[in-house]
Structure 1
Amino acid sequence: MNAMVLPSAASLSPRDPWAMVPSLGNLDAYISAVNRLPMLTADEEVSLAQRLQQHSDLDAAGRLVLSHLRLVVSLSRQYVGYGLPQGDLIQEGNVGLMKAVKRFDPEQGVRLVSYATHWIKAEIHEYVLKNWRMVKVATTKAQRKLFFNLRSMKRQFKAEAADGQTHRMSLSEAEIETVARELNVAREDIIEMETRFAGGDVALEAGSDDDDEAVAPIAYLADERQEPTRLLEARRMDELAGPGLLRALDALDARSRRIVEERWLHVNDDGSGGMTLHDLAAEYGVSAERIRQIEVAALKKMRSALVAQA
């Protein structure tokens, strides 16, 4: 994975430690480097934030970002248990950090470290939810909150197990009640999320390196297109759309049929439709409203004829 190109990189001296951030491809070297970057004092942070806010100073933005890269590394460690590469977690957290720097207001009296934590976690959360499983386990805001808090509370329950043995995988009734009370969610939502945790992903199609004689799960799924009733239904629809439609048109008088054909079936060479209500009204010497009434009555008669054929 390539290192992120920060906006201040071009303005920094090669000897400046701020510019010495290696690629995330070497994770240990990256973490070691960002932990050596100097921290900003409160006054320096306010000064840089004001320069960014008032003058769009990219060098100031870069210094604010670089001084908080260690915060992203620290927060990313909380999510390594999801089985995702820490380098990817850091990369996503860095995106959140840059969003925070862009929106940071030094006049609010809050340090950037406190403000940026929310943005960093939000980006990491989004990445985890998109990549933890092939199928999303949490989509609504409430489900996302439950997803992360439930995993944390399950680890707490396991640590508090008195017997010292491996804790059971599912929650007990008492633990479900505790989670429901502390998170203010319904028991049913907790049970559903617990079920999603327990389930795994199954690839429908066999991988390229699988046994040639193995049968992939997709082979057991029925093809609804070949289901007998679907075939009969499709054949009947083709019949109604062809000969059936012609028989329904034959049931109309000449004027009604021409109005329907011009309004619904006629297509010009340029792709445009047939005559408008006003065109037909001028031809037959009646009002456009009268043409519309004839059209409605004709379509109703055709619909009855098609139903009778079905």
Structure 2
Amino acid sequence: MSNSNAVTKVDDFDIDQMDVELNDSDIEVSDKEDNSSDTNAALREEFDASNKSLDATQLYLGEIGFSPLLTAEEEVLYARRALRGDEAARKRMIESNLRLVVKISRRYSNRGLALLDLIEEGNLGLIRAVEKFDPERGFRFSTYATWWIRQTIERALMNQTRTIRLPIHVVKELNIYLRTARELSQKLDHEPTAEEIASQLDIPVEDVSKMLRLNERISSVDTPIGGDGEKALLDIIPDANNSDPEVSTQDEDMRNSLIFWLEELNPKQKEVLARRFGLLGYEPSTLEEVGKEIGLTRERVRQIQVEGLRRLREILVKQGLNMENLFDVDMD
């Protein structure tokens, strides 16, 4: 007998059987006891709902475990048929990749949505991937599908829990720096540097740089580069804490694809994006830091970044990937 079944039976006895015995014995229950009974009923209802959710998850995981994976050759065969409208092939493509959805969904646990809800959202992305996948482009389907699965999950989480929470003292300190920066920009008629902000506040430049870097990076994982806003850079950068070989392989495939697409940009655009977002061996840097490293102004770096992102978006669209949220920065 499983632990969950055992607990359920004990719970049924404690509540239901007790109610029967009290009624049969004609025992008068006080208002206080009534309240306790109501509480027990509420707790039982909550427990049962939790149990049902757990059971449903286990049942689902058990069912999809019987769906065989496709070989690379089968993948191309079924994908071609699905593109021609073969419903059986489409269904086979979906069913054979349901475990991929579960693997990805588990990485988003404890962020505001139950696992089954995450899986449901991920399955929508999987279906979309099957509809859009073109095997002639040379991608493995798992790599392509991962983009869409993450997209739908991230969007659901964004709608559920959008706010990034920071310690209150960090928020207060950041607000001081940002307010000072706004005031200086009005006085100086240009966006102030970290040195100018530090001088105004009489604090170390490094403290200002650290907070401004934090602010840029917080806002650099979700902001759309235009259009629908369907993808974030966070989705394609491998999780260093993830130990799942299959997911790590898919992340590496996507990173390699991104590096390949960067080669389509001109050298300056490629270097700016690589330095800004931590690609090609660079550490992520602020616009100001990149400017100092390559001898350009912050504003010029921003302009090159915008141009590069627009070009990158065009490339991704041609690949059938509507990655309007690939990098989180303003397009203007």
TM-score range, shorter chain: 0.3 to 0.5
What TM-score, normalized by structure 1, do the two folds share? 0.39
What TM-score, normalized by structure 2, do the two folds share? 0.36
